[in-house]
């Protein structure tokens, strides 16, 4: 079973908003008490927040589906629905949030940093909130909005000060165990380290963390071995340490060639992804070289042989032995010095600026587009307000549909349809193509709220109330008189035929 997970896919869903309530207050001696329906509660949101107690994404690996609680429905007597609580998910420091296409949505660094992965739906208004001077007792309420759903990819980039890189079995895990209290798995075969190991080192008054990155091999930046999977853990490290094996038995390897191979892989990885780690580019960060396993006589001779060449490149070289702990103390203090310098030179984090982006003067908040496909023509209406109003409308209630028509007319949707070339009977779709509300547009439909004089729950605008013309009235009167004359003629015919005679006579 996996004990370290640094990449997961989370299916987050916000809670649905509660429906508003349509209720009329009923109390003795108060026949006209008015509407008292309460609003529905807002749904909870799914929030990702950095928690210092969380170090891995293992919990999301086992439970990837997360749904926030929904808000409850409003009730009569002005009782508001309960608000759904936000679902706060703790993530490790250094978690990067991406969408399924790989676009970065948030970089969560620092305790308390958070990102709303799936906002909850807004609760619907009750009829008490919808009452006005012209609509004193609405017989409808608004529906709650459904919560948003989103699939997010979480990638953990370890927050460490020093990264140990090198070939498999170079002694990186042994070095972490020798200079810190960490006890990673150590064995004499390649790829013993399958997950990054972290250790805390105390050097005098300085304290820093060291990350042991699983072994790199040629082609790691292209996906070979385990390198590509864990190379992202060095992106935030301030100092890179090359751990070179001076006691290797492979004939085609030596410390200098190993260093060149690892540097080439790091350059390829940084060049492909454009990683700069937030401070300095990966290729410009301080580097140290550790010639390991000098407790072996042949390894000590090889270390003394290659040290001048490495120092000629401007690299600080340390000969150490994790078995005898020789040379570890100077190494820890040298790392502490470079880490402290990097911390001093790091820019002071600034508070997030609040950026105000006012809307343009001619921005109505929606668009009307004429579309044609397969000989079919329709007009698509897209915008935050129209789509939200459609989701909140109960289409089984005629009065609610009339209220939606009022809102769309005040927003200017009908005028934009005229400008787009829409005529009576054209098909109009509000919302996305996959889930839109379709209706035939009738521009002559009156949308004034002053016409809402009928019984509650009805809308006279949806009834056929056209006035007949004078010719239609004359035709109707003539047909009615002809029908009466035909009835009288039929009765007279029956009378002459004796159908009305008394059978006893």
Q: How confident is the model at residue 191 (pLDDT cuts 50, 70, 90)?
A: very low
292 is in an annotated binding site: yes
pLDDT of residue 35: 92
Whether the per-residue pLDDT at 188 is higher than 60: the answer is: no
Containing 273, the helix (H) or strand (E) segment is: helix 255-273
314 is in an annotated binding site: no
151 is in an annotated binding site: no
Query: What is the mean predicted confidence (pLDDT) over 209-213?
Result: 82
Q: What is the mean pLDDT of the chain?
A: 81
* Distance of alpha carbon 212 from alpha carbon 170, whole angstroms: 11
* Distance of alpha carbon 35 from alpha carbon 126, whole angstroms: 9
Name the one residue in this structure whose structure tokens are 């070095």. 175
168 is in an annotated binding site: yes
**Which tokens is 204 given?**
């005098």
Least confident of 268-277, 321-330, 426-435, 453-462: 268-277
Q: How confident is the model at residue 126 (pLDDT cuts 50, 70, 90)?
A: very high
Q: How confident is the model at residue 268 (pLDDT cuts 50, 70, 90)?
A: confident
With CA atoms as reference, report the closest residue to 270 among 213, 221, 311: 221
70 is in an annotated binding site: no
Whether the per-residue pLDDT at 171 is higher than 90: the answer is: no
39 is in an annotated binding site: no
> In angstroms, what CA-CA distances link 498 with 489, 492, 501, 505?
15, 10, 5, 12
Taking the CA atoms of 324, 330, 333 and 335 in sequence, report the sign of the dihedral they define: negative
* Distance of alpha carbon 84 from alpha carbon 71, whole angstroms: 5
With CA atoms as reference, report the closest residue to 441 among 406, 405, 469, 491: 405
Whether the per-residue pLDDT at 141 is higher than 90: the answer is: yes
374 is in an annotated binding site: no
Burial class (CB in 10 A: 0-12, 13-18, 19+), 292: buried
Q: Tens of pLDDT along 424-472? A: 788 889 988 888 888 888 764 444 554 555 566 565 556 666 677 888 8
CB 34 within 8 A of CB 137: yes
pLDDT of residue 504: 56
171 is in an annotated binding site: yes
Q: Tens of pLDDT along 31-43? A: 778 899 999 999 9
Q: Tens of pLDDT along 144-154? A: 999 999 999 99
Please report, for the chain, the start and end positions of each structural domain, with discontinuous segments joined by +: 7-156, 162-345, 366-441
**Any residues with CB less than 8 A from the CB of 204 and at least 6 apart, and which?**
333, 336
Q: Look at the domain 162-345 and name its fold.
A: Rossmann fold (3.40.50)
Query: What is the mean predicted confidence (pLDDT) over 227-234?
Result: 63
Domain 366-441, CATH: 3.30.300.350
What proportion of the chain, given as a percentage, has pLDDT over 70? 83
**Which tokens is 222 given?**
């292209």
pLDDT of residue 458: 63
Whether the per-residue pLDDT at 272 is higher than 50: the answer is: no
pLDDT of residue 221: 45
pLDDT of residue 1: 36
Least confident of 113-122, 178-187, 256-265, 366-375: 178-187
Query: What is the mean predicted confidence (pLDDT) over 390-408?
Result: 89
* Distance of alpha carbon 415 from alpha carbon 325, whole angstroms: 82
Q: Which residue has the higher pLDDT, 38 or 296?
A: 38
Strand positions, DSSP E, 221-365: 239-245, 287-292, 316-319
194 is in an annotated binding site: yes
459 is in an annotated binding site: no
How far from each other are the two terminal CA atoms of the chain, in whole angstroms?
A: 111
pLDDT of residue 179: 84
402 is in an annotated binding site: no
386 is in an annotated binding site: no
DSSP state of 472: H
Query: What is the mean predicted confidence (pLDDT) over 296-309?
Result: 86
pLDDT of residue 477: 84
pLDDT of residue 42: 95
pLDDT of residue 283: 75
**Which tokens is 32 given?**
């006209």
339 is in an annotated binding site: no
221 is in an annotated binding site: no
Sheet with 239-245, edge to edge strand ranges: 197-203, 206-212, 162-165, 239-245, 287-292, 316-319
Query: What is the mean predicted confidence (pLDDT) over 235-244?
Result: 84
Concatenating the DSSP letter of every residue in 132-171 gives: -SS-SS-S--PPPPPPPEEEEEEEE----SEEEE-STTSS
466 is in an annotated binding site: no
272 is in an annotated binding site: no
46 is in an annotated binding site: no
Least confident of 159-168, 245-254, 295-304: 245-254
458 is in an annotated binding site: no
191 is in an annotated binding site: yes
What proportion of the chain, given as a percentage, has pLDDT over 90? 22
497 is in an annotated binding site: no
Least confident of 131-140, 405-414, 434-443: 434-443
423 is in an annotated binding site: no
pLDDT of residue 190: 46
Whether the per-residue pLDDT at 202 is higher than 60: the answer is: yes
Highest mean pLDDT among 62-71, 168-177, 481-490: 62-71
Query: What is the mean predicted confidence (pLDDT) over 224-235?
Result: 60
Superfamily for 7-156? GTP1/OBG domain (2.70.210.12)
167 is in an annotated binding site: yes
pLDDT of residue 454: 57
């Amino acid at each position: 079973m996996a004990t370290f997970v640094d990449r997961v896919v989370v299916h987050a869903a916000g809670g649905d908003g509660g429906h508003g309530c349509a209720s009329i207050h009923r109390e003795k001696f108060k026949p006209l008490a008015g509407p008292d329906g309460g609003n529905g509660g807002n749904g909870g949101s799914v929030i990702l927040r950095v928690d210092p107690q969380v170090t891995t994404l293992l919990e999301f690996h086992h439970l990837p589906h997360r749904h926030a609680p929904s808000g409850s429905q409003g009730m009569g007597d002005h009782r508001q629905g309960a608000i759904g609580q936000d679902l706060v998910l703790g993530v490790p420091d250094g978690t990067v949030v991406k969408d399924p296409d790989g676009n970065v949505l948030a970089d969560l660094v620092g305790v308390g940093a958070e990102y709303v992965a799936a906002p909850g739906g807004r609760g619907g208004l009750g009829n008490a909130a919808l009452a006005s001077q012209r609509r004193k007792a609405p017989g409808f309420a608004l529906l709650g909005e459904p919560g948003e759903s989103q699939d997010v990819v979480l990638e953990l980039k370890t927050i460490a000060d020093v990264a140990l890189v090198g070939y498999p079995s170079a002694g990186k895990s042994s070095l972490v165990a020798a200079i810190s209290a960490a006890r990673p798995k150590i064995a004499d075969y390649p790829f013993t380290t399958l997950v990054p190991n972290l250790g805390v080192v105390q050097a005098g008054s300085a304290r820093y963390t060291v990350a042991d990155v699983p072994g790199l091999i040629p082609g790691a930046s292209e996906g070979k071995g385990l390198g590509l999977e864990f190379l992202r853990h060095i992106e935030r490290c301030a100092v890179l340490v090359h751990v070179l094996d001076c006691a290797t038995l492979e004939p085609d390897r030596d410390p200098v060639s190993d260093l060149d191979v690892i540097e080439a892989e790091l350059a390829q990885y940084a060049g492909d992804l454009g990683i700069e780690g937030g401070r300095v580019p990966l290729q410009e960060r301080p580097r140290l070289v550790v010639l390991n396993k000098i407790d072996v006589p042949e390894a000590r001779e090889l270390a003394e042989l290659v040290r001048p060449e490495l120092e000629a490149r401007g690299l600080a070289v340390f000969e150490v032995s994790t078995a005898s702990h020789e040379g570890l103390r100077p190494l820890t203090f040298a790392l502490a010095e470079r880490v402290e310098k990097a911390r001093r030179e790091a820019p002071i984090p600034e508070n997030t600026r609040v950026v105000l982006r006012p809307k343009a003067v001619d921005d109505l908040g929606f668009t009307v587009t004429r579309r044609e496909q397969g000989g079919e023509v329709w007009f698509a209406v897209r915008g935050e307000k129209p789509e939200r109003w459609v989701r909140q409308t109960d289409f089984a209630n005629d009065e609610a549909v009339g209220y939606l028509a009022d809102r769309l007319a005040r927003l200017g949707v009908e005028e934009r349809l005229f400008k787009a070339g829409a005529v009576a009977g054209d098909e109009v779709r509000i919302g996305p193509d996959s889930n839109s509300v379709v209706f035939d547009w009738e521009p002559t439909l009156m949308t004034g709220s002053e016409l809402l004089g009928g019984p509650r729950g009805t809308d006279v605008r949806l009834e056929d109330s056209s006035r007949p013309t004078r010719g239609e009235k004359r035709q109707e009167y003539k047909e009615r008189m002809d029908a009466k004359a035909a009835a009288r003629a039929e009765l007279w015919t029956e009378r002459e035929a004796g159908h009305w005679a008394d059978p006893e006579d």
